[in-house]
Protein backbone atom coordinates (compact mmCIF):
# COMPACT_ATOMS: atom_id res chain seq x y z
CA UNK A 1 0.00 0.00 0.00
CA UNK A 2 1.34 3.43 -0.92
CA UNK A 3 1.19 5.93 1.89
CA UNK A 4 2.38 9.46 2.60
CA UNK A 5 5.56 9.50 4.72
CA UNK A 6 7.86 12.15 6.17
CA UNK A 7 11.19 12.72 4.47
CA UNK A 8 14.35 12.93 6.59
CA UNK A 9 17.86 14.21 5.93
CA UNK A 10 20.94 11.96 6.11
CA UNK A 11 21.13 12.55 9.88
CA UNK A 12 17.52 11.52 10.53
CA UNK A 13 16.13 15.04 10.96
CA UNK A 14 12.83 16.06 9.40
CA UNK A 15 13.13 18.06 6.20
CA UNK A 16 9.53 19.25 6.54
CA UNK A 17 8.72 17.45 3.28
CA UNK A 18 6.50 14.45 2.64
CA UNK A 19 6.32 11.99 -0.25
CA UNK A 20 4.55 8.81 -1.20
CA UNK A 21 6.42 5.75 0.02
CA UNK A 22 6.87 4.57 -3.58
CA UNK A 23 8.53 7.87 -4.54
CA UNK A 24 10.82 7.73 -1.50
CA UNK A 25 11.88 4.20 -2.45
CA UNK A 26 12.55 5.11 -6.09
CA UNK A 27 14.42 8.30 -5.20
CA UNK A 28 16.33 6.94 -2.23
CA UNK A 29 14.85 9.49 0.17
CA UNK A 30 15.46 8.89 3.87
CA UNK A 31 12.29 8.18 5.86
CA UNK A 32 11.29 6.75 9.27
CA UNK A 33 10.21 3.15 9.91
CA UNK A 34 9.52 0.97 12.94
CA UNK A 35 10.45 -2.51 14.09
CA UNK A 36 8.66 -4.11 17.04
CA UNK A 37 10.13 -7.30 18.49
CA UNK A 38 7.68 -9.25 20.66
CA UNK A 39 9.16 -11.52 23.32
CA UNK A 40 7.95 -13.54 26.30
CA UNK A 41 9.16 -13.84 29.90
CA UNK A 42 10.37 -17.36 29.17
CA UNK A 43 12.65 -16.31 26.31
CA UNK A 44 10.61 -16.76 23.15
CA UNK A 45 10.51 -14.31 20.28
CA UNK A 46 7.80 -13.83 17.65
CA UNK A 47 8.98 -14.08 14.05
CA UNK A 48 7.01 -12.99 11.01
CA UNK A 49 7.33 -14.58 7.62
CA UNK A 50 6.96 -11.81 5.07
CA UNK A 51 4.16 -12.16 2.54
CA UNK A 52 4.85 -13.87 -0.77
CA UNK A 53 3.96 -10.70 -2.69
CA UNK A 54 6.28 -8.35 -0.77
CA UNK A 55 8.60 -6.36 -3.05
CA UNK A 56 11.60 -7.09 -0.84
CA UNK A 57 12.50 -10.35 0.89
CA UNK A 58 9.27 -12.28 0.12
CA UNK A 59 8.75 -15.34 2.35
CA UNK A 60 11.79 -14.52 4.52
CA UNK A 61 11.48 -14.64 8.31
CA UNK A 62 12.24 -11.42 10.21
CA UNK A 63 11.09 -8.98 12.87
CA UNK A 64 7.71 -9.52 14.58
CA UNK A 65 6.21 -6.34 13.06
CA UNK A 66 7.75 -3.75 10.74
CA UNK A 67 6.41 -0.83 8.80
CA UNK A 68 6.60 2.74 7.68
CA UNK A 69 5.67 5.63 9.94
CA UNK A 70 2.95 7.73 8.27
CA UNK A 71 3.47 11.45 7.72
CA UNK A 72 2.99 13.35 10.98
CA UNK A 73 2.89 10.17 13.06
CA UNK A 74 5.15 9.52 16.06
CA UNK A 75 7.19 6.30 16.08
CA UNK A 76 5.04 4.98 18.93
CA UNK A 77 1.76 5.65 17.12
CA UNK A 78 3.25 4.15 13.95
CA UNK A 79 4.17 1.05 15.95
CA UNK A 80 0.66 0.85 17.43
CA UNK A 81 -0.93 1.11 13.97
CA UNK A 82 1.42 -1.40 12.30
CA UNK A 83 1.00 -3.95 15.11
CA UNK A 84 -2.78 -3.72 14.86
CA UNK A 85 -2.67 -4.02 11.05
CA UNK A 86 -0.15 -6.87 10.79
CA UNK A 87 -0.95 -9.11 13.78
CA UNK A 88 -4.36 -7.90 14.91
CA UNK A 89 -3.70 -6.77 18.48
CA UNK A 90 -3.74 -3.42 20.23
CA UNK A 91 -0.68 -2.63 22.30
CA UNK A 92 -0.11 -0.05 24.99
CA UNK A 93 2.31 2.51 23.57
CA UNK A 94 3.69 3.28 27.04
CA UNK A 95 4.87 -0.35 27.25
CA UNK A 96 6.93 -0.09 24.05
CA UNK A 97 10.58 -0.15 25.04
CA UNK A 98 12.65 1.82 22.56
CA UNK A 99 16.12 0.33 22.25
CA UNK A 100 17.48 2.46 19.46
CA UNK A 101 17.34 3.91 15.98
CA UNK A 102 19.23 2.24 13.14
CA UNK A 103 20.19 3.90 9.87
CA UNK A 104 19.79 1.57 6.89
CA UNK A 105 20.73 2.03 3.26
CA UNK A 106 20.04 -0.85 0.88
CA UNK A 107 19.55 -0.72 -2.89
CA UNK A 108 17.58 -3.73 -4.13
CA UNK A 109 17.80 -5.29 -7.60
CA UNK A 110 14.17 -4.37 -8.29
CA UNK A 111 14.89 -0.62 -8.04
CA UNK A 112 13.74 -0.10 -4.46
CA UNK A 113 16.24 1.98 -2.53
CA UNK A 114 15.61 1.63 1.20
CA UNK A 115 17.11 4.57 3.06
CA UNK A 116 15.51 4.43 6.47
CA UNK A 117 15.90 5.39 10.08
CA UNK A 118 14.29 2.48 11.91
CA UNK A 119 12.96 3.04 15.43
CA UNK A 120 13.42 -0.29 17.20
CA UNK A 121 11.15 -1.37 20.04
CA UNK A 122 10.78 -4.38 22.30
CA UNK A 123 7.41 -5.41 23.68
CA UNK A 124 6.83 -8.02 26.37
CA UNK A 125 3.75 -10.12 25.59
CA UNK A 126 2.10 -13.33 26.66
CA UNK A 127 2.73 -16.12 24.15
CA UNK A 128 -0.95 -17.09 24.34
CA UNK A 129 -2.16 -13.71 23.09
CA UNK A 130 -4.47 -14.33 20.13
CA UNK A 131 -2.77 -13.01 16.98
CA UNK A 132 -4.51 -12.47 13.64
CA UNK A 133 -2.13 -12.04 10.72
CA UNK A 134 -2.80 -9.62 7.88
CA UNK A 135 -2.91 -11.98 4.90
CA UNK A 136 -1.71 -9.40 2.36
CA UNK A 137 1.47 -8.62 4.37
CA UNK A 138 2.17 -11.66 6.53
CA UNK A 139 2.55 -15.24 5.35
CA UNK A 140 2.97 -16.78 8.82
CA UNK A 141 3.85 -16.10 12.45
CA UNK A 142 5.76 -18.35 14.81
CA UNK A 143 7.20 -18.30 18.30
CA UNK A 144 10.76 -19.58 18.65
CA UNK A 145 13.11 -19.77 21.61
CA UNK A 146 16.04 -17.36 21.63
CA UNK A 147 18.32 -20.38 21.12
CA UNK A 148 16.32 -21.45 18.04
CA UNK A 149 16.45 -17.88 16.73
CA UNK A 150 20.21 -17.75 17.24
CA UNK A 151 20.56 -21.04 15.35
CA UNK A 152 18.50 -19.64 12.46
CA UNK A 153 20.59 -16.45 12.43
CA UNK A 154 23.87 -18.33 12.35
CA UNK A 155 22.79 -20.71 9.57
CA UNK A 156 22.35 -19.17 6.14
CA UNK A 157 19.60 -21.66 5.26
CA UNK A 158 17.48 -20.66 8.24
CA UNK A 159 15.07 -18.68 6.06
CA UNK A 160 15.89 -15.33 7.65
CA UNK A 161 16.89 -12.18 5.80
CA UNK A 162 20.61 -12.91 5.56
CA UNK A 163 21.70 -9.25 5.43
CA UNK A 164 20.16 -8.70 8.89
CA UNK A 165 22.48 -11.05 10.81
CA UNK A 166 24.11 -8.36 13.00
CA UNK A 167 20.73 -6.75 13.71
CA UNK A 168 19.30 -10.12 14.73
CA UNK A 169 22.24 -10.96 17.01
CA UNK A 170 21.86 -7.56 18.68
CA UNK A 171 18.18 -8.28 19.37
CA UNK A 172 19.08 -11.68 20.88
CA UNK A 173 21.65 -10.05 23.19
CA UNK A 174 19.25 -7.29 24.23
CA UNK A 175 16.34 -9.62 25.02
CA UNK A 176 18.62 -12.09 26.81
CA UNK A 177 19.82 -9.28 29.09
CA UNK A 178 16.19 -8.64 30.13
CA UNK A 179 15.36 -12.21 31.13
Instruction: Over range 50-67, report the average pLDDT.
Output: 92
pLDDT given at position 164? 83
Number of domains in the chain: 1
pTM over 0.85, yes/no:
yes
CA–CA separation, 13 and 15 (whole Å): 6
Cα–Cα distance list, 16 to 13, 69, 124, 155 (Å): 9, 15, 34, 42
Nearest C-alpha neighbor of 91 from the set 80, 100, 107, 99? 80
Residue-wise pLDDT tens digits, 86-126: 999 999 999 999 999 999 999 998 889 999 999 999 999 99
CA–CA separation, 32 and 36 (whole Å) = 14
Confirm if 30 and 113 have CB atoms less than 8 A apart: no
CATH number for 43: 3.90.79.10
* Structural domain boundaries enclosing 159: 4-178
Amino acid sequence: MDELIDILDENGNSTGETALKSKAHIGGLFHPTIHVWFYTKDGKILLQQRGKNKETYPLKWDVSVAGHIAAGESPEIGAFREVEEEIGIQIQTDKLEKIGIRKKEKKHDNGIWDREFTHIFLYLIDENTQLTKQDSEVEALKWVSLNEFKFLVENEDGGLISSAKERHLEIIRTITSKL
